[in-house]
Amino acid sequence: MRLRSDIFVSALIRRAEVQGAVAMLRRRGAAEAGAIFVKLDRLDGRAAVYGPAPQSEEPPEGVDRLFARVHAGDWLDPGEAEQRLKREIMFDPDLWIVEIEDPDGRVFVDLAA
């Protein structure tokens, strides 16, 4: 059984803030099962967008959700990251968006290999 999206997002924001990053809810999606996207802004002109990992990736024991970068390359311009999020919203209007500002580039979610 998967943790509800609203609970996962609340825990993600708290985890990031406890570890010294700034995290905020940018878009509220479907409470039970909305897809979650994370925009990571390093505050130096570099950003990344993470979304649900492909379903073929089985999460390890004790991991509720896996995430992967949704774009090629390591970093995007923050404006490009926003454009990517707009495209995702057009595809799925029930998604969640969490923005994390962290100069160290920590995303605070489990990433697929």
pLDDT at 22: 98
At 82, is the secondary structure helix, strand, or coil?
helix
The pLDDT of residue 57: 66
Give pLDDT, residue 64.
83
Looking at residue 20, its amino acid is G
φ and ψ at residue 47, rounded to 5 degrees: -145, 165
Question: How far is C-alpha 13 from the chain's CA centre?
Answer: 10
Q: Judging by beta carbons within 10 Å of its beta carbon (0-12, 13-18, 19+), is residue 12 exposed, middle or buried?
A: buried
pTM of structure: 0.93
Mean pLDDT, consecutive 10-residue stretches, the chain (113 aa), reads: 91 98 97 95 97 81 89 94 96 97 96 87
Q: Look at the alpha carbons of 111, 75, 94, 6 in this order and tell me if their dihedral is positive or negative.
A: positive
* Total residue length of the chain: 113
